[in-house]
Amino acid sequence: MAAYDAQLVVLAGFMRILDNQFLCRHGNYTINIHPSLLPCFPGLHAQQQAIDAGVRISGATVHLVDQGVDTGPILAQAAVPVMLEDSAQTLHERIQKTEHPLLCSVVRRIASGEITLNPVTLSVKKTTTESTFLFSPPLQE
């Protein structure tokens, strides 16, 4: 990453926990997509966790990566209904249809400056055209 002067690292299906050395160097501009409405159902098997919990709504979250597992500040979320007949697989497939455009939209908004990432604050300019987004408050020092 350093050799290319990366300004954004995007994790999608990466399924590994990044070590502190990586996070110290790149964590302030590393984002991840997760198949649930965090903070609910972090980690593995989020779709099965949602079904087991009996929730009627799940979804996808794009968040800044920190040292925890799916615990970083939330950048955007999109809701997906959980159907009574859902299996983990069918819910996964429906969430993926939402994840892909959600992640692309967040990357586009970071590139355009609508979302600004830095070590102390998270700045997000809301737009009325993207109603599926829920934004977290600014980080505290």
Catalytic residue ranges:
34
The amino acid at 35: P
> In whole angstroms, what separates CA 115 from the centre of its chain?
14
Coil, helix or strand for 106?
helix
* CA distance linking residue 10 with residue 8, whole number of Å: 6
Angle between helices 88-112 and 46-53 (to 10 degrees): 120
Residue 26 exposed, middle or buried by CB count within 10 Å (0-12, 13-18, 19+): middle
